[in-house]
Structure 1
Amino acid sequence: MAKKKQAPQEVQGDTVLQQTLALFSHDDLLICGVDEAGRGPLAGSVVAAAVILDPARPISGLRDSKKLSEAQRDALAVEIKEKALAWAIAESSVEEIDQLNILQATMLAMRRAIEQLSITPELALIDGNRCPVMAVRSEAIVKGDDKVPAISAASILAKTARDHALLDLHQLYPDYGFDQHKGYPTALHLARLQQHGVTPVHRKSFGPVKALLA
């Protein structure tokens, strides 16, 4: 039986489900999985994806995108887009991250992805322990990207989309090594920041970037 809808909150943090509940309690509902990529980097947008899988067209090999090779992710991303009932990718910009903070910007990107689906789901299963505020009912699942296939699919789409976006940033700012670290605070990235300074695509509210600006 579906749970009673909760009253909206700025960020809901009390809807964490056990794996069994997530996998078996909502078979009668149209479900989308939702995940993000890029909360930790010092540069670039945070990207979210939402996916409604087609039970009649199963996809083998879905799991947490971080546990897949780049080649596996790219191949699965193509298959997901071909076989899913609906999918969407959205983002929150660097400016929105600095204005809202990374948590709220991530929630915004997730909500945008869900709202851009061509089919409106009855329930959104969100990776993590918080849900965005939106019209669609949502429930959070800790480590859902390795438990729920629809969330795994969303994880793969978000990760591949963001990685490709960082390759584009590398073309604009070749001195920073975005093609290697994808914006994360690696030793290489921090050294290049020290050497070349802060770009418009860096998150100015993040500690290492803020320190350089100060």
Structure 2
Amino acid sequence: MPTLLIQLYGPMQSWRLGPRLERRPTQPLPTKSGVVGLLAAALGRPRGSRIEDLAALRMGVRVDRPGVLETDYQVVRNVIQAKGRGLKNAQTWRGYLADAAFLVGLEGERRLLEELARALKTPQFVPYLGQKGFLPAAPLYRGLRLQLGLEEALASEPIIVRAREAEEVDVYVEDPEGELLLPDAPEEALAEIGMPRALGVRAVRRYRITAHPAEEEPA
């Protein structure tokens, strides 16, 4: 099957799971639920829309730059307490990845991937890197590899950030026999605002490859 390549690179990214509590850590790599939400936004699908077609795509992530884990401490004043018991100040600790770069591959039917490629070039809604306000620093669309499956496409693509030498990088691909179980499988429809998400578990295989820098263009 063909593979759509997306590059997720920006000053800040945050790929969270679970409810919005005081402490909101980020995952170390893009979640499938987050990537599917990004695709749905590019297509212009509103909240509540069905997304089974996007969730069925087989996803892989190559970690070209893992980034640095940071924490943003915030205080929100005059928050209404449960059952209207007055106001209080709320503290939150929000985790994010600074200066990370990921190459994401999505394997599936050609027609859907071509539709996604067009949407990523001219998205209907503003795309974010996991959290509102975290904008990408480079175009999301990397390319459509019609003759390459997921593993081959991730292995053959040059490093998406500037590099002088080849580097050993981690790759995570969906595999029913994978040794890692990640609780980030997308729900059947986009969650409404204020409603909890119902995420499932998917199996992922982790391995390492050598990624090569892009060839420099002649001066």
- Verify same fold: TM over 0.5: no
More strand by share: 2
- With normalisation by structure 1, the TM-score equals 0.26
TM-score for the superposition, normalised by structure 2: 0.26
